Amino acid sequence: MGLNYRLLVLVFLLFANLSAQTSKAKIDSINAILVQNSAIKTDSLFTIFQQNLENAQTLNYPKGIGEAFQKIATLYGYEGDLDARLEYNFKALRIFEQHELRMEEAYLNAEIGYQMKRDDMTKAEAYMNRGMKLAEQEVYENVLDRIYNNYGVLKEMQGQLDSALYFYEKGLELVKKRDFTEGYPYSYSNLGGVYGQQGKYDLARNYFEKARQIREEIGDQKGIAENFTQIGEVYLAEGKNQEAISYFKKAVPVAHAQDYRFLEQYTYQQLSQAYKNLRQTDSALFYLERYGVFKDSINGLEVNKKIAELNLNYETEKKENQILEQRAQLAEKDLEVRRKNAFIYGSLALAFILGLLGYLIYSRQKLKNSQLQKEHELQVALAKIETQNRLQEQRLRISRDLHDNIGSQLTFIISSIDNLKYQLKDADSGILEKLSMISAFTSTTINELRDTIWAMNKEKISVEDLQTRISNFIERAQSSKDSVQFSFDFNTKQAPDFIFTSIEGVNIYRVIQEAVNNALKYAEAQNIQVTMQVWDADQFKVAVVDDGNGFDLKNHQQGNGLGNMKKRVQDIGATLQIETQPTQGTRVILQSK
């Protein structure tokens, strides 16, 4: 009893562990979603990662918790809530430090430094260096490329363009080494930004365009919007305002569709500047106003609150009287609303119950149909197996009858002919020759009977089995005609486990047998070469080549031999090619289609 209990506990723990591992893998797969090129809306991503965080906390899975915090921080960054982004990143960093998740700790230190770049460059560099040193010590190449790129941005912001290029190129080297598709656009965009500042405008646009093309391939819509804006900035720096406006206008709808508010705000500002340069004041003012609206919505929440408070104080006195009147109306309507709600909720509950009952009935019927289908398939499979077994039994019975009855009778005939030849040794030479021919024919018949029995006893014939059979036949042919040189080349290296059906095996064997016999009987060949090659996907090729008399294929009257060969080849769905000319020998090629 105790042993059974312990076994049950062990099985339970095993399944619990497997379930936990499965759940952790699911959490990791959700955390692996790239926010940058996700087609999912930002609000939906918030819900997804928040639920993933709760699942990781339920499992007490530190890596999943930290990475979920980090994803939520990234989403806040896209919304322009920089304080919330920093708060969630620090939550993630504490998790990584406590549980010694060094690679995650290295990357997040660098990421926090990158996010501080506009507020406190000294702290930004400190965090960035801490993450970079840790990643370099442990050689975390799959995060070092991003760290180098982000550190290059800090150098670029400080006007240290040569240092920025150095780190961007280091990041690009690692991206190429890893063949990290998602990493190429960041490196290209960063390099384009530096070249733009250096006045190398064509080179800058080239890098931004390369980044955009890759982002098109991987579906990174936020990155595409960034590249449109960056190309527009290059044109703006060149003084090509119309071209700049074209690209800024491409960026705005993509950024808006992706809820990328910070970029949308910035692009409106750039559009306003471009129209200002063209002295189109109406358009410049329009986009400046759009910029102001976004700036207020992203960065001026406190101002909005104060404005709301002033509006509230202003409207309070006016609305107090309205509120008193509305209370009376609301009291009357409240009862009516409650009655309607009760009716609606009751109807919904009834509909839900009916729907649930319908679904249960449907599911039960579907399960029943599925079981019936499986039972039918099982019956069909059993019947097929039973039929195959009966066919195999019948095949074995026929082959035994052939071997025991006809084989023994043919052997008796040969023995009787040999006795007759001995008794009639003084008889006419013509009679003895006829008896010898009958004996030889009977021996040949026995060999062919054995070949037939060999094929009947098998559902499938292996390459090795067919090779052995052909080799035995060639040995017999060699012994019957010493003056002829035979060669047999069987190449199975590409498919050592190649399998023929019994019909394919026996028909290939018969075609080779017929071709060799024709070369011996009619062609007066001195050299006969038999080759066979097999390879994957049921492909094979057989060739019988002799240096005999050959014949004129066009004017040759086809006998039973060639007709039988063609019929056998058709039966196995293969092709037969005969190449011959008088005095030039003959090539018989059998090949699968």
Q: What is the pLDDT of residues 374-412, one digit of tens each?
A: 878 877 877 776 766 665 566 556 655 555 556 556 666
List Cβ neighbours of 152 (8 Å cut-off, separation of 6 or more).
163, 164, 165, 166, 167, 168, 171, 190, 194
Question: What pLDDT was estimated at residue 169?
Answer: 92
Largest Cα–Cα separation, the chain? 148
Lowest mean pLDDT of 12-16, 177-181, 218-222, 466-470, name the range: 12-16
Instruction: Give the bridge partners for 461, in sequence order.
Output: 500
- Judge whether residue 464 has pLDDT over 70: yes
Tell which residue, 96, 126, 122, 118, has the closest CA to residue 108: 96
Write down the residue that tokens 């699968």 correspond to.
592
CA distances from 354 to 341, 347, 358, 359 (A): 20, 10, 6, 9
pLDDT band at 16 (very low <50, low <70, confident <90, very high): very low
Residue 239 contacts residue 277 (beta carbons within 8 Å): yes
Rounded percentage of the chain residues whose pLDDT exceeds 70? 78
CA distance 167 to 185: 15
Question: Helix count (H) and strand count (E) of the chain?
Answer: 20, 7
Residue 535 binned pLDDT confidence (cut-offs 50, 70, 90) = confident
Q: Which of 49-53, 366-370, 450-454 has the lowest mean pLDDT?
A: 450-454
Segment 147-150 long-range contacts (CB within 8 Å, at least 24 positions apart): 147/106, 147/107, 147/110, 147/171, 148/174, 149/186, 149/187, 149/190, 150/110, 150/111, 150/113, 150/114
User: The dihedral of CA 315, 318, 320, 323: what is its sign?
Assistant: negative
Q: Out of 215-219, 243-247, 365-369, which region has the weakest mean confidence (pLDDT)?
A: 365-369
pLDDT band of residue 300 (cuts 50, 70, 90) is: very low
Return the higher-pLDDT residue of 37 and 329: 329
Is the model's pLDDT at 538 over the cut of 50? yes
Higher local confidence (pLDDT), 515 or 336: 515
Predicted confidence (pLDDT) at residue 249 exceeds the cutoff of 80 = yes
| Span 124-152, pLDDT tens digits | 889 989 999 998 898 888 888 889 989 99
Average pLDDT in the 490-511 region? 85
Question: 34 vs 20, which has greater pLDDT?
Answer: 34
The dihedral formed by the CA atoms of 209, 213, 216 and 222, expressed in degrees to the nearest 10: -30
pLDDT of res. 64:
92
Q: What angle do CA 333, 337, 338 make, to 5 degrees?
A: 120
| 198-214: b (≥16 Cβ within 10 Å) or e | eeebebbbebbebbbeb
User: 489: which strand partners?
Assistant: 531
- The predicted model gives 43-47 an average pLDDT of 85
Tell me, which fold does domain 460-592 have in CATH? Heat Shock Protein 90 (3.30.565)
Q: Which residue has 């960041």 as its token pair?
A: 186
For residues 464 and 424, the answer to whether their CB atoms sit within 8 Å is no
* Whether pLDDT at 14 is above 50: no
CA angle 348, 349, 355 (to 5 degrees): 85
User: In the predicted model, is pLDDT for residue 458 greater than 60?
Assistant: yes
Please give the C-alpha separations between residue 55 and each of 68, 81, 194, in angstroms, as whole numbers. 10, 25, 43
Percentage of the chain surpassing pLDDT 90? 28
Task: Identify the three-state secondary structure at position 579.
Answer: strand
pLDDT for residue 576: 94
**Amino acid 115: pLDDT:** 83
* pLDDT higher than 90, residue 586: yes
For 247-262, the DSSP string reads: HHHHHHHHHHHTT-HH
